[in-house]
Amino acid sequence: MSEVIDGRKMSAEVIGKVKALTADLAAKGGGKPGLAVVIVGEDPASQVYVANKSRTAKECGFHSVQHTLPADAAEADLLKLIGELNADPAIHGILVQLPVPDHIDSGKVIQTIAPEKDVDGFTFVNVGKLGTGEAETAFVPCTPAGSMLLIERVRGKDLSGLNAVVIGRSNIVGKPMANLLLAANCTVTVAHSRTKDLAALARTADILVAAVGRPEMVKGDWVKPGATVIDVGINRIPAPEKSEGKTRLVGDVAYAGAAEVAGAITPVPGGVGPMTIAMLMANTVASAYLAAGLARPR
Ligand code: NDP
């Protein structure tokens, strides 16, 4: 059986480091890291994510603020709020919870965030830095950054020459994940919905990352023996075995079958998920250090 990669343990380590850095920053006269989370509307899943982010920020000792705009808020009001947060010296990280309602242009919203406060790593400046090999000075999107830490935990930092297959090419997960693996000297293939013979391609991967949003799509016989499997997917499916109307979370990988073949694998829940929030905190504390004129902590 494969090693289970414990995202909860790793995220607790990251959070522990963030807390220590926050205390050190105050001791150096740098004040508190400030995180502003903005949510538009009342999507229940988004509300849970936002509440978790705000709670973790408080646990880390941050100045944490949440702005909730009504679902029919005008785009101009959201852009104005971001402008105010950009100018607020107590705020070092701005996060707009996606998706925003359809009448708001999410691209415009994201590009309004000052790159030095873009702790989600979605602005052109941060995407461009990662894409041109300047990851050290970029804010890297939290989910792939957290996935990378989990991979390094198993494989070490030098991934030279390993074959990596990333299934999914979103701007939030797939593309930045591919760039991070490329920067770590992997030979990277990015697969998507038009890829032919995905199973055979996946079987070439020493590192297989699934970021698709399709429950248990990646089967055990898609996995190369000994591969490191990172399951980013979070899918809620019916669980009639629990009781009528109940649901459970599964990833994009059919866990039981894949775990028999993989060298190491992330579970869902408890794998990549907890890392995302931890990396958001790490990016925010880094932003606060830079704002205070201090070296970025590593
Ligand atoms: P998107 O829907 O933006 O992207 C999905 C990608 O999967 C697309 O590139 C799409 O291809 C590809 N795809 C869809 N169907 C197939 C298929 N049959 N075969 C191969 N590729 C396919 O999703 P995200 O990247 O935002 O999220 C992916 C998953 O990760 C979701 O389950 C999401 O909930 C989860 N997630 C988890 C996070 C965490 O914290 N753990 C954070 C963010 C996301 P194409 O481009 O051709 O359409």
Domain chopping of the chain, boundaries: 29-114, 141-273
Atom 41, ligand 1: residue with shortest CA distance: 273
DSSP E strands in the chain: the ranges are 3-4, 34-40, 63-69, 93-96, 163-167, 187-191, 207-210, 228-231, 235-238, 247-250, 264-265
The residues, any chain, with a CB within 8 Å of residue 221's CB and separated by 6 or more, are 199, 203, 257, 261
pLDDT, greater one: 245 or 195:
195
Class of the CATH domain delimited by 141-273: alpha beta
**Residue 230 CA, ligand 1 centroid: distance in Å:** 13
The residues, any chain, with a CB within 8 Å of residue 77's CB and separated by 6 or more, are 69
Residue 137: how many other CB atoms lie within 10 Å: 11
What is the pairing mode between strands 247-250 and 235-238?
antiparallel
Predicted pLDDT of residue 130: 97
Please indicate if the annotation marks 168 as binding a ligand: yes
pLDDT above 90 (res 1) = no
**pTM tops 0.95:** yes
Predicted pLDDT of residue 240: 87
Query: pLDDT tens across 146-168, in order?
Result: 999 999 999 999 899 999 999 99
Fold match between 29-114 and 141-273? yes
Q: What type of residue is 124?
A: F
Region 222-236: what's the mean pLDDT?
97
Provide CATH code, domain 29-114.
3.40.50.10860
* Residues above pLDDT 90, as percent of the chain: 95
pLDDT interval class at 243 (50, 70, 90): confident
pLDDT above 90 (res 245) = no
Q: Which residues are catalytic?
A: 53, 97, 120
Predicted pLDDT of residue 30: 95
Average pLDDT taken over every residue of the chain? 97
For ligand 1, is residue 268 a contact (CB within 6 Å)?
A: no
pLDDT interval class at 87 (50, 70, 90): very high
